[in-house]
């Protein structure tokens, strides 16, 4: 039995770069979304076996802080629109990286 170490290293580097690209684009997209004044507030779902369950008061407080942060933004409306467009672009690049990885697995195999 012989192992093709060149192919192994190639797959390892491709996986590392792909995972890094996905994390980078997603994090940058979230950052741009916040800079645009559109702080994503996701209300948690209560599960019966959840370790931590947020109360309604905590959820309202988080939403209120998000609204306050959006109002305090020093950016102009044009800058906010540009930051939002950059966020959308980052999310599209993140999705393209995932789709490209799936294509490599399905078609390249």
Cα separation of 46 and 52, whole Å? 9
Q: Could you give the 3-state DSSP secondary structure of residue 46?
A: coil
pLDDT digits (tens, 9 = 90+) for 78-102: 988 999 999 999 999 999 999 988 8
Query: Does 106 reside within a domain?
Result: no
Query: Does 105 reside within a domain?
Result: no
What is the share, in percent, of the chain residues with pLDDT greater than 70? 83
Instruction: Tell me: pLDDT of 41 over 80.
Output: no
Query: Does 7 reside within a domain?
Result: no
Question: Per-residue confidence at 63, pLDDT binned at 50, 70, 90?
Answer: confident
- Greatest distance between any 2 Cα atoms in the chain: 64
Cα separation of 78 and 68, whole Å? 20
Q: Which of 71, 98, 84 is nearest to 30 (CA)?
A: 84
Query: Does 84 reside within a domain?
Result: yes
Query: Does 67 reside within a domain?
Result: yes
In the chain, the number of structural domains is: 1
In this prediction the pTM is 0.68
Query: Does 27 reside within a domain?
Result: yes
User: The domain containing residue 71 runs over which residues?
Assistant: 18-41+52-94
């Amino acid at each position: 039995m012989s192992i093709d170490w060149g192919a192994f290293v190639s797959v390892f580097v491709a996986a590392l770069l792909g995972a890094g690209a996905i994390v980078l684009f997603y994090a940058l997209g979230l950052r741009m979304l916040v800079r645009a004044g559109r702080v994503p507030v996701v209300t948690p779902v209560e599960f019966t076996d959840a370790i931590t369950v947020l109360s309604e008061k905590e959820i309202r407080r988080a939403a209120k802080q998000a609204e306050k942060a959006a109002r305090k933004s020093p950016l102009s409306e044009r800058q906010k629109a540009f930051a939002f467009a950059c966020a959308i672009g980052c999310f599209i690049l993140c999705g393209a990286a995932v789709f490209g990885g799936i294509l490599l697995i399905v078609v390249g195999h």
